């Protein structure tokens, strides 16, 4: 089952795919519902990514506390501590996680977060 959130995907993919055992969420970037990029600190951008991820999960019948794995892509590891400070507000249950610095992300954003959750 493919799901699409109101924030339209930037390419030929689904925002989430739900199976009987898991929900696979595509990476969320700090975009508003109208497609505007959030300006501000890494914490503010991380918050918007998490809020977008929460919206996708809710549409799929799940929620952030049911996330079992996240992958975070950031533009610079110098942002790691600030990103973590905001991230932990959404993921206090400490799902498994990977975090990697990448050269570039879609639309030139500084952070993108994807997740796998239980239905």
Active site residue 99: yes
Other Cβ atoms less than 10 A from the Cβ of 15: the count is 23
CA atoms within 13 A on the CB side of 90: 23
Rg (CA), the chain: 13
Catalytic residue among 25, 49, 50, 99: 99
* d(C-alpha 47, C-alpha 72), whole Å: 13
Please report where in the chains the tokens 């799940």 appear, as a residue.
62
Other Cβ atoms less than 10 A from the Cβ of 51: the count is 15
Considering only CA atoms, which of 38, 40, 54 is closest in space to residue 89? 54
Give catalytic residue positions. 99
């Amino acid at each position: 089952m493919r799901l699409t959130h109101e924030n339209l995907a930037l390419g030929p993919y689904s925002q989430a795919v739900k199976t009987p055992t898991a929900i696979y969420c595509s990476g969320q970037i700090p975009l508003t519902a109208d497609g505007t990029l959030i300006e501000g600190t890494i914490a503010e951008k991380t918050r918007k990514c998490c809020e977008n991820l929460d919206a996708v999960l809710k549409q799929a019948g799940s929620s952030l506390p049911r996330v079992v794995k996240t992958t975070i892509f950031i533009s610079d590891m110098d942002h790691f501590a600030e990103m973590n400070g905001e991230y932990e507000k959404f993921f206090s249950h400490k799902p498994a996680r990977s975090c990697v610095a990448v050269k570039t992300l879609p639309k030139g954003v500084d952070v993108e977060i994807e997740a796998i959750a239980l239905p």
